[in-house]
Structure 1
Amino acid sequence: MAVLSKQVAVPKSGFSPIPVIDMSDPESKHALVKACEDFGFFKVINHGISAELVSVLEHETVEFFSLPKSEKTLVAGYPFGYGNSKIGRNGDVGWVEYLLMNANLDSGSGPLFPSLLKSPGTFRNALEEYTISVRKMTCDVLEMIIDGLGIKPRNTLSKLVSDQNTDSILRLNHYPPCPLINKKTNCGKNVIGFGEHTDPQIISVLRSNNTSGLQINLTDGSWVSVPPDHSSFFFNVGDSLQVRLIS
């Protein structure tokens, strides 16, 4: 994932410490603003989201992506629903399948995918709890940024996420084994899971399941890997917020 922002230079070795923001410390707002301005990417700890909730959602997500492709494509659609390989209408091709939903699951615009599962109620409940928790955490982060910038009112950005009619989306990605990759012959080494891109939104929230692969692009053109962390959340400054930070 490419990150556009006023990023700091890093050693040519490729090592780049990801800024860590402690949500339990109100004074972290200053480090948070600096991370946004200098790096465009940061990790959040002590975020208050239940590890048990995350585990349940991950289990249900794995169950969905384990379904036969013929069943998953029953809930394919645009913009919401199941998708495979092609990401959007611009053809950002990658070796990935995904499930895209409106963050407001009661909006009526989401797929009817739970009907395909053994326990649709469990999946939907986990999704609802997860989206509520992540939206709250995101609002807290955005309000800390606003505090750090000295902007009033405090909900200048967070209201765009907390609003009932928010256009926030929830995306579940799955990267299945790729038959084009052969470790012995190094064949298919350039296969990409999710293509290089920037995010047009205000901010993006990412979570990994301890699988490596995420990279960010620095101003010198180098790509550095982001070590996975199952217990934390990563935030990527989107193009819209970047405009505000550098204006």
Structure 2
Amino acid sequence: MAEVQSVQALASSLAALPPEFVRSEHERPGATTFRGGDAPEIPVIDMAAPESAARVAEAAAEWGLFQVVNHGVPAAAVAELQRVGREFFALPQEEKARYAMDASSGKMEGYGSKLQKDLEGKKAWADFFFHNVAPPAMVNHDIWPSHPAGYRYAEANEEYCKHMQRLAWKLFEHLSTALGLDGGAMWEAFGGDELVFLHKINFYPPCPEPELTLGVAPHTDMSTFTVLVPNDVQGLQVFKDGHWYDVKYVPDALIIHIGDQIEILSNGRYKAVLHRTTVDKDRTRMSWPVFVEPPPEHVVGPHPQLVTDGSPAKYKAKKFKDYRHCKINKLPM
């Protein structure tokens, strides 16, 4: 059984924040979060409304992040996904460790924590569990826990993934047509039915000094986009116009993050959102993102119809696995 250092286990024994978690002053959420009364409204889009396509494209260009309601994903499917996630993190540490990520294999799947230091020598206040849910050829059910009951069954993960695939098609269609492309252009450009859906559970336990640390440091997602379900504990923040803004909890909404691959394919017309996660002093924050990614060998670059003499390509075409390697290892793109 692999040994996993867990923020969850560490948090239960702390009265003060260890120095390796204390961020530099320019990153501390207590000092850098916008607290004015005139914060701009982060878009909340009704997917059943006639103007939803235009609003999705506008939000992707302006914010890189938006929330969707009336999205067609049943509340029961979301609730079941959250139930098994909460129950997994309630298991004894030794049980969770059975599913530990094997960093030496180079694979992203499994249970782990953010206790690796970043470039500034800091650690993040989070544990996580990753695994693929589609396509079938990339799913390893041995990674999926046998407890809690229901985790491996369709209603908790595979059924939820089917809803994610339908929503992904609709979002890609809206984003494609707003660029003057065929409605199926993005879906096909990113791999079509071979698109990879990677499910993650983020766990941010209560923190003795939350104003000094972060659950996840500022970053953009390397995916095409990410569909995130939060619980009701505030934590997600987005950077815009020089400020960090809270993404307020909207019951029954899904949060959509535009990722690097859509920015690349759109030749910069849509923006990957810079975001980070804060933590709470008294309550556990959890979130359930699904990352929608091209297959590893798939090449992504600016769409040929969006490259002209007046708008030359701003990004290099790369296999997704090579892009991921460069980003994870902070190498030149």
TM-score range, shorter chain: 0.7 to 0.9
Residues 210 and 201 of structure 1: is their aligned pair in 2 closer, same or farther, counting only changes over 3 Å? same
Partner of 1:173: 202
Partner of 2:212, secondary structure, is coil
Change (3 A) 1:155 1:43: same
> What are the ranges of 5 or more consecutive residues in structure 2 without an aligned counterpart?
1-33, 102-106, 270-310, 312-333
Q: Provide the identity percentage.
A: 26
SS class of match (2:67)? strand
State the partner residue of 1:40: 64
Distance (Å, rounded) in 1 between the aligned partners of 2:145 and 2:55: 44
Query: Equivalents in 1 of 2:87, 2:43: separation in Å?
Result: 33
> Quick one: which of 99, 108, 112 aligns to 1:75?
99
Superposed counterparts of 1:24-173, under 5 Å = 24-77=48-101, 78-86=107-115, 93-104=123-134, 106-107=136-137, 109-110=139-140, 112-120=142-150, 123-152=153-182, 154-159=183-188, 163-173=192-202
Cα distance, 1:140 vs. partner? Answer: 0.5
Bigger Rg, which one: 2
Cα distance change on mapping 1:205 and 1:161 into 2, 3 Å: farther
Specify the code of the residue in structure 1 equivalent to 2:127.
E
Distance 2:89 2:35 in 1: 39
Q: 1:121 to 1:228 in 2, by over 3 A?
A: closer
What amino acid is the match of 1:63?
A: E
- Counterpart CA distance in 1 for 2:176 and 2:92 is 45
Alignment of 1:163-242 (within 5 A): 163-178=192-207, 181=208, 187=209, 189-220=211-242, 222-242=243-263
Higher RCO, 1 vs 2 (CA within 8 Å, ≥6 residues apart) = 1
Distance 1:99 1:192, change over 3 A: same
The separation in 1 between residues aligned to 2:164 and 2:126, in whole angstroms, is 23
CA–CA distance in structure 1, aligned partners of residues 151 and 197 of structure 2: 22
In 2, distance between residues paired with 1:201 and 1:88? 23
Using the alignment, how far apart are the partners of 2:100 and 2:202 within structure 1? 14
Contact persistence 2:43–2:67 (CA under 8 A): yes
TM-score, normalised to structure 2's length? 0.62
Is the CA contact (8 Å cut-off) linking 1:93 and 1:195 kept in structure 2?
no
Give the aligned residue type for 1:198: T
Q: Give how far 1:155 is off.
A: 1.3
Q: 1:12 to 1:207 in 2, by over 3 A?
A: same
Q: Write the deviation string for residues 24-72 of structure 1: whole angstroms up to 9, x where unpaired.
A: 1243211221111111111111101111111111111111111112111
Instruction: Output the CA distance in 2 between the equivalents of 1:52 and 1:87.
Output: 36
Q: Residue 125 of structure 2 aligns to a residue in which SS?
A: strand
8 Å CA contact 1:49–1:133 kept in 2: the answer is yes
Q: How many aligned positions are there? A: 229
Distance 1:164 1:158 in 2: 8
Does structure 2 retain, via aligned residues, the 8 Å contact 1:86–1:94? yes
Distance (Å, rounded) in 2 between the aligned partners of 1:26 and 1:161: 26
CA 1:111–1:189 in 2, change beyond 3 Å: closer, same or farther?
Answer: farther
The 8 Å contact of residues 65 and 258 in structure 2, kept in 1 or not, is answered as yes
Query: Would the alpha carbon gap of residues 148 and 72 (structure 1) be closer, same or farther in structure 2, given more than 3 Å must change?
Result: same
**Tell me, what secondary structure is at the counterpart of 1:79?**
coil
User: TM-score scaled by structure 1?
Assistant: 0.81
Secondary structure of 2:221 counterpart: coil
Residue 11 and residue 230 in structure 1: after superposition, are their counterparts in 2 closer, same or farther (change >3 A)? closer
Stretches (4+) displaced over 6 A: 87-92
CA distance in 2 between partners of 1:107 and 1:89 (Å): 33
Equivalent residues of 1:94, 1:192 under 8 A apart: yes
Contact 1:209 1:229 in 2 (8 A): no
Note the residue ranges of structure 1 that are not aligned, 5 or more in a row: 1-9, 182-186
